[in-house]
Chains A and B, each alone.
Chain A
Amino acid sequence: MSESKVNRRNFLKIVGAATAAGTVEMVTYKAYASTNSAPNGWKGTSGVSGSSAASMANTASPPDHQWAMVIDLRSCNGCKSCTAACQKAHYLTEDQTWIDVFTMTDTIGRTYSMPRPCMQCENPPCLHVCPVHATFRTNQGVVLVNQGRCIGCRMCMAACPYQARYFNWNAGVEYPSMPIKPTPEMPVPQRLGTVGKCTFCVGNLNDGLLSECAAGCPMGSIYNGDMKTDVGVNSMGNTIKLSEFLYDNDAVTFKTSQNTHPRVWYIMGHGQNLDNDDQAS
Chain B
Amino acid sequence: MVVMDNKIESDQRDIVDSNADETWVNDVTESAMRSMRNKPGKAWWIAITLLGLVIVAGVIAWIYQLKHGLASAGYNDRAFWAVYIADVITFIGVSYGGAVTSAILRLTGQSWRAPLTRLAEAMALVTVIIGGTFIFPHLGRPDRFLNIVIYPNFSSPLFWDFMAILTYTVATMIFFYLPLIPDMAVVSKMLGDKKKLWQKFLYSSLSFNWLGTEKQKKALHRGLTIISLLIIPLAVSVHSVLSWAFALTSRPGWMETVFPPYFVIAALYSGTAMVVLVVAGFRKGYKLQRFITDRHFVRLGYLMVALGLVYLYLTFADLVTEGYTGITTGWIKQTVTGSYAPAFWFYVFAGELLPIFVVAFKKTRNATGITVASVFVVISLWVKRLVIVLPAATQPLIAGAWGSYHFTWVSITITLAGVAAIPFLLMIMFRFIPLFSIEEMEEAGELGSVEQVSAHTQVLAKILAKYTGLEVTAPKASKSLTASETEGK
Residues of A within 8 A of B (CB): 51, 53, 95-96, 102-105, 116, 125, 128-134, 149-155, 157-159, 161-163, 165-171, 192-195, 258, 276-281
Contacts and interface: CB of A to CB of B under 8 A. Distances in A.
A244 to B, nearest CB: 29
A129 B248 contact: yes
B156 A152 contact: no
Contact of A132 (B81, B151, B333): B151
Contacts of A134: 147, 151
B400 A155 contact: no
A167 B158 CA distance: 18
Given A152-B141, A193-B70, A278-B328, A102 B156 contact: no
B152 A132 contact: yes
Given A166-B77, A193-B70, A193-B140, A132 B148 contact: yes
A149 B333 contact: no
Contact of B81 (A116, A158, A195): A158
Interface in B47-75: 68-72, 75
A279 B398 contact: yes
Interface of B: 68-72, 75-77, 80-81, 138-142, 144-145, 147-148, 150-153, 155-159, 162, 245-246, 248-252, 254, 327-331, 333, 393, 395-400
A241 to B, nearest CB: 30
B69 A192 contact: yes
Contacts of B141: 150-152, 193-194
Given A130-B153, A167-B75, A169-B69, A158 B249 contact: yes
A158 B162 contact: no
Residue in A102, A128, A132, A168 with the greatest tally of chain B CB atoms within 10 Å: A132
Given A151-B147, A170-B68, 20 more contacts: A51-B155, A95-B77, A130-B156, A132-B153, A134-B147, A134-B151, A153-B139, A155-B156, A155-B157, A158-B246, A162-B398, A165-B77, A167-B77, A167-B140, A193-B140, A194-B141, A277-B327, A279-B399, A280-B397, A281-B330
Contact of A151 (B71, B77, B145, B330): B145
A131 B148 contact: yes
Contact of B250 (A51, A96, A125, A195): A125
A116 B398 contact: yes
A133 B153 contact: yes
A24 B464 CA distance: 77
8 contacts: A129-B158, A132-B153, A150-B141, A151-B141, A151-B148, A155-B156, A157-B80, A161-B397
